[in-house]
Chain A
Amino acid sequence: MLGKNSGKYWIMKNNLMSWLIILPSVILFAFFVWVPMGESIVMSMFKTKGIRLERYIGLEQYIAVFRDPNFLAALRNTVSYTLWSLIIGFFIPIIIAILISETTRMKGLLRTVSYLPNIMPGLATVLLWRSFFSAKPSGAFNVLLSYLGVSPRPWLSDAGIIIPLIVVILTWKGAGATALIYMAGLAGINPELYESATIDGAGVWKRIWHITLPQIFNLGSTLLLLQIISVFQILYEPLVLTNGGPDNASISLMQLLFNYIQNASSIDYGRASAVSVIIALMLLTFTVIYNSVKKRMESYE
């Protein structure tokens, strides 16, 4: 059937058929992702009433957002969440991965169990932790501390520790899944590297420092970027645990956006869009800088 002359016709016909096959999916992506992405930018430059665009006002929404005292608090906190997650959240998965990789017995069980928190619905985990850290003496954490003779404390209403505490909760949920990715990286390290290092007289610690860590450096820098992007959009935890309190001490940028869509008193879609554009711009800028710094570091090596 495939004569020389009909070849071109076949390719054209199949091109058309191929586009027909992917068209419904492309339409869905356009409707749910790509068009709203563009509209976000348009909407952020309009005065809105409900879902209606009233009139073009340029960058006024952005100025209003920057002047909102909640915005400064949210920005400061979001940066603080991110920094704390670098201190707590970045290293723990690496440590877990190295530890579990050193085991031989029960390795499968350990991998499974450390991944378990990650499959629990985010909202459910947050409600669980709210009760766990409850200020009441019956709060599980206070009970645990009472074994050590420490008196109960209102953990979630302490402005000084609320952000690191939320980061600990985030880490509990995500660390095992991230560790699993590191374990895949660790398993890929050529054992001959360890053997030749041993012949050169390197002990276990030296091998970790000079072989293991450099070998997962690239993986780590990618996961670090993904982690920063996801922590930057933190919403459920402050929303449910503290509702942004005490006194805005834990409000996040995404929560500000959520308030602009949902709180009857502050509903403003234009402003919500402006917040989302600000978040997206910050993350994009950060990603570009991060990647160019990474590239420069690699070219120096």
Chain B
Amino acid sequence: MSDNRRTGVIRDYDLRSKSVRVGLVFVYLACAVIFLVAVFPIIWVILAGFKELKEFYGTMQFLGNKSFLPKAFNIQYYIETWKDMKFQKYYLNSLWSVAGSIVTALIFNGLLAYGLSILKPKGHKIIYSLVMFTLLIPGTTFITPLFANLNRLKMTGFFTPLWLAAGANAFYVVLFMQFFDSFPSSIIEAGRIDGCGPFQVFSRIVLPLSKPIMVVVAIYTINGAWSDFLLPYLVLDNKYRTVMVKLFEYKSANQTNDLDVLRAVVFSILPPIILFFFFQKKLTENIVTSGIKG
């Protein structure tokens, strides 16, 4: 935001009034509060992870020792929790689940959107309405029969159902469709006149132009697959459990101490946060232009 012109309710000419200038100070103060509220819990949990148990629980016992800052930034505690909880295994499982989901999410949702938005074969409108209908229906309400069917077909245990489920995401289809709809029809026509069939139009024209939207869908998929809990919890075998499934075990965790839970929370939020800071511009811009959030 290098552009410093005022674009909101308060216009440049309003700044001549003293009360507006004072008001603007309050606006910035309020924004500072928003900033603090948004980051404080995240900073707090990371700092708490550096503490040892006595230090963490003792914060109230001695006046003057209520600090949120740890006495020392000792990464050792994090390393110990990582090893004790065998987090490496859960991280790897989550990575597997995420990697496969990206592939299916891009291929299947992308191809469906290509069909609905560019090819438009006879009868495509039925499929289009069904996809739109899917957006309206709460996703969690058909989990029971899905779980039963997966069991019946003996598809539970491995990541396969999670991967395939990522290929049927109405929200991603709509994202792809919005992107494809913005193609000028002349470039598609040009391909057709050159004798390209639907496959060649896709591989020679649509695919090379689609990198921006593929990045956006991939980021949403990474975040979605990493954070997903309900389906992984229901279908995955013990040895394939993901980070989120592991976290859920702490629901009634009396055997683990609070700090191990908090460090596990840090492990689980770091990848999305890092990803977010790399791609935040793409994501926030996409929300601003498409008007939908994941």
Interchain nearest-CB distance for A284 vs B (Å)? 8
Alpha-carbon separation in the docked complex, A121 to B97 (Å):
15
Q: A25-B167, A280-B141 are in contact. List 16 more A-B contacts (CB 8 A).
A: A2-B193, A18-B120, A22-B124, A24-B111, A37-B142, A101-B7, A119-B272, A121-B226, A124-B268, A142-B60, A143-B59, A176-B38, A229-B138, A233-B140, A261-B143, A269-B148
A-B CB contacts (within 8 Å), total count: 315
With an 8 A cutoff between CB atoms, is B11 at the interface?
yes
Taking A21-B202, A277-B141, A283-B138 as contacts, is the C-beta distance between A123 and B229 under 8 angstroms?
A: yes
> Complex Cα distance A280/B4, Å?
47
B10 pairs with A102, CB closer than 8 A: yes
A59 at the binding interface (Cβ < 8 Å): no
| Residue ranges of B at the interface with A (Cβ–Cβ < 8 Å) | 1, 4-11, 13-14, 20, 23-24, 27-28, 30-31, 34-35, 37-39, 41-42, 44-45, 48, 56-61, 66, 68, 104, 108-109, 111-112, 114-116, 119-122, 124, 127, 130-131, 134, 136-138, 140-149, 151-152, 164-165, 167-168, 170, 193, 195, 197-199, 202, 223, 226-227, 229-230, 234, 244, 247-248, 250-252, 258, 261-262, 264-265, 268-269, 272-273, 275-276, 280, 283-284, 287-289, 291-293
Chain B residues whose CB sits within 8 angstroms of the CB of A177 once the complex forms: 287, 293
Determine whether the beta carbon of A127 is less than 8 Å from that of B265: yes
**Of the residues B13, B104, B127, B141, contact of A26 by C-beta under 8 Å:** B127
The answer to whether B164 and A100 touch across the interface, beta carbons within 8 angstroms, is no
How far is B143's CA from A280's CA once the two chains are assembled, in angstroms? 12
Q: Report whether A146 and B66 are in contact in the complex, using a CB–CB cutoff of 8 Å.
A: yes
Question: How far in angstroms is the closest Cβ of chain B from A178?
Answer: 7
Q: Is the CB of A99 within 8 A of B227?
A: no
* CB atoms of A198 and B149 under 8 A apart: no
With A21-B114, A104-B5 already in contact, the answer to whether A119 and B276 are too (CB < 8 A) is: yes
In chain A, what residue has the closest Cβ to B167? A28
Contact A124 B27 (CB under 8 A): no
Which residue on B lies nearest to A134, using beta carbons? B258
Q: B271 — nearest CB in chain A belongs to which residue?
A: A121
Q: Judge whether B284 and A180 touch: CB under 8 Å.
A: yes
> In the complex, which range does the number of interface residues on chain A fall in?
35 or more
Chain B residues with CB below 8 A from A43, complex form? 144-145, 148
Contact of A96 among B34, B120, B143 (CB under 8 A): B34
Q: By the criterion CB–CB under 8 Å, are B280 and A198 in contact?
A: no
> What 9 A-B pairs have minimum CB-CB distances, sorted nearest first?
A22-B115, A121-B227, A25-B112, A18-B121, A39-B145, A137-B60, A36-B142, A18-B119, A51-B148
CB-CB under 8 A from B27, the residues of chain A are 99, 102-103
* A interface, CB within 8 angstroms of B: 1-2, 13-19, 21-22, 24-26, 28-29, 31-37, 39-40, 43, 51, 96, 98-108, 110-124, 127-129, 131-132, 134, 136-138, 140, 142-143, 146-147, 152, 172, 176-178, 180-181, 183-184, 186-187, 191, 194-195, 198, 204, 207-208, 211-212, 219, 229, 232-233, 235-236, 239-240, 243, 254, 257, 260-261, 269, 272-273, 276-277, 279-280, 283-284, 287
**B1 surroundings in chain A (CB, below 8 A):** 104, 106-108
Docked complex Cα distance between A18 and B251 (Å): 48
What are 25 A-B residue pairs whose CB atoms fall within 8 Å in the complex? A17-B199, A25-B115, A28-B164, A36-B144, A96-B34, A105-B4, A117-B42, A119-B223, A120-B269, A120-B272, A121-B268, A122-B227, A137-B60, A140-B44, A142-B60, A143-B68, A180-B293, A183-B288, A187-B288, A232-B138, A236-B229, A240-B251, A261-B147, A273-B145, A277-B141
CB distance from A239 to the nearest CB of B (A): 7
What DSSP secondary structure best describes chain B's contact surface?
helix
